[in-house]
Chain A
Amino acid sequence: MELSNMETSNLNELISAALKSRYADKFIGEEQQYDFTVYTLDKSVIIDALSFLKTDPEIACSFLTTLCGIHMPEQEGAEFGMMYQLQNMQKNVRIRVKIWMSKDNLHVPTATGLWPSANWMERQEYDFFGFKFDGHPDLKRILNMDEMNYFPMRKEYPLEDGSRDDKNDKMFGR
């Protein structure tokens, strides 16, 4: 099952070339983060790209390992990000695809049409960050209670209730 590094890098080159030619200026960047190649794409092509990566017979990254949201409030105009991690189990290649979006428009097309496993993963990211997954069959909170009126994983929400004054976390908090 173990494959040489050469085959892995070959597939990564193939993916990179295919995505570049397919999406031209919608292909924003590519970087190496430890053992993962990370491709950043424009939000408008994400589902097309995921579906291409999944179904292309050569690339065949058909397993959705995980997806998660990222909040970086200091990045003006691209405060929120989504990362998708795909895997080609036969060739043992893992890649990460990222999109960034402004805080005013948190609509992301859903990946549930490609993988049923995306259903709860997307619900979780809606629950914690407030991403609106367009076309999701059942977009509601999953781990938090339904009555909650904020998205707790956003950086502006403190870990603890802000009204408490009996705890001073100046030395220990972030």
Chain B
Amino acid sequence: MSDIKNIEATEVQKEYNILNLGPTHPATHGIFQNVLKMDGEIIMHAEPTIGYIHRAFEKLAEHRPYNQIAPITDRLNYCSSPINNMGWHMTVEKLIGCEVPKRADYMRVIIMELARISDHIICTTIIGQDTGATTGFLYFFQMREKVYEIYEEVCGARLTTNIGRVGGMERDFSKRAIDLLKKFLVEFPEYLKEFQSLIERNRIFMDRTINCGPITGERALAYGFTGPNLRAAGVDYDVRVANPYSRYQDFNFSIPIGTNGDTYDRFMVRIQEMWESISIIKQAFEGLPEGPIHADVPSFYLPEKQEVYSKMEALIYHFKIVMGETDIPKGEVYHSVEGGNGELGYYLISDGGRTPYRLHFRRPCFIYYQAYPEMITNGLLSDAILTMSSMNVIAGELDA
């Protein structure tokens, strides 16, 4: 009875609901948990929990020789593993001061841009899927399969590629790989155009995504955004232009930017980036020079198996590389590449030992996912789902 007395008659009793979005909900496309405080359908507060697929990559890397770390990087952003692999190889190359031949660099650019395309295909089609446009997902997703077929031909794997080696590429493009690539260059623009015209100016899609989960350029920078999400907010920062690697300065491409930083802008930036990527691939493919596909660094680049069986030096180097007995300079190096989601950085401290002394991954997802609660607060629950898929948060990269 006394409790009832304490409540003033004028006070409006408001009740909030607590809703667990995730950890394993099909709409979150990965293991992400958000505890939401809901006022009806409006989100008042969100508390994300991460770490469900944490695999201790930084610790693991301290116990593995340099060439065995590339497979770990596959599992960061597994939608575009080749970019992660190349980023790691380039970090080691920077440490040992190795100059990669032009052909290898161009081959890397082709593979990396294919990876960017496959990454953006996933993100854009999933935005379509979450707004109810399953058609795009079913048709356009075929192109991802074509990209994976090219990977398969180049390195033998599809998802976790471990493509390239320290010093260059592990093998040259085969005839079939070149045929597939040529076919892709013809087919892909048609598919992309079809997908674009299906969704881009669709009234329902636009109403659904414009002003959904917006962020200003200033806030995006404060939250450490990089990549397409930052560019959607209007900041033209791209690692490929700011600090070119792998001879990106040879190619002519522009950086698409948005204005509002909302879901529609993030979608459009990714669509435009695919056009830029395909143009870069064309330029690299047309200008692909003849020459060696790897630098002359015998103590890091595994020799041909045939030579290992027949030549003494090759056998010695093979043994040294596999056992991790090569000398490596001391020092600390940071190298970053433009990953599918933003600036993917490797901070490496070497003490001259067979494994890195410390390896820190700058994972773009991990840094920008912090802004998620701010972006969805005071919005609808259905917008929160869409915001997450348009940010392209990849669990593997988030949790490392």
Contacts and interface: CB of A to CB of B under 8 A. Distances in A.
B331 A34 contact: yes
A83 B349 CA distance: 12
A66 interface: yes
Contacts of A70: 349, 358
Nearest to A1: B241
Interface stretch (A14-22, A41-49, A99-107, A113-121): A113-121
B260 to A, nearest CB: 20
Interface stretch (B70-78, B127-135, B359-367): B359-367
Interface string B233-265: 001110001111000010000000000000000
B347 interface: yes
Contact of B51 (A71, A115, A144): A144
A152 B60 CA distance: 11
B391 to A, nearest CB: 14
Interface string B308-339: 00000000000000000000000111101000
A152 B237 CA distance: 35
Interface string B130-173: 00000000000000000000000000000000000000000000
B63 A68 contact: no
Nearest to A68: B360
A173 B223 CA distance: 38
Contacts of B204: none
Interface string B83-98: 0000000000011000
B17 interface: no
B387 interface: no
A20 to B, nearest CB: 22
A117 B358 contact: no
B370 A152 contact: no
B370 A117 contact: yes
A174 B241 contact: no
A92 B243 contact: yes
Given A92-B242, A159-B60, A143 B222 contact: no
A66 B360 contact: yes
Contact of A174 (B56, B224, B353, B369): B353
A89 interface: yes
Interface residues of A, number: 38
A34 B334 CA distance: 8
Given A34-B94, A63-B224, A159-B63, A85 B241 contact: no
Interface string A142-166: 1111000000110000010000000
Interface string B45-79: 00000110010101110110000000000000000
Nearest to B333: A34
B63 A174 contact: yes
Nearest to A71: B358
B343 interface: yes
Interface string A61-91: 0111110101100000000000101000100
Contacts of A128: 58
Given A34-B333, A92-B243, A96-B334, A120 B367 contact: yes
A119 B370 contact: yes
A116 B222 contact: yes
B198 interface: no
A23 interface: no
B37 interface: no
Nearest to B55: A143
Contact of B63 (A124, A141, A173): A173
15 contacts: A1-B236, A1-B241, A65-B224, A65-B345, A66-B367, A68-B360, A70-B349, A83-B347, A85-B334, A89-B237, A116-B223, A117-B368, A120-B366, A142-B51, A153-B59
- A-B residue pairs, 10 tightest by C-beta: A117-B224, A143-B51, A68-B360, A66-B362, A143-B54, A34-B333, A159-B63, A120-B370, A117-B223, A33-B332
Interface of B: 50-51, 54, 56, 58-60, 62-63, 94-95, 221-224, 235-237, 241-244, 249, 331-334, 336, 343, 345, 347, 349, 353-355, 358, 360, 362, 366-371, 399-400
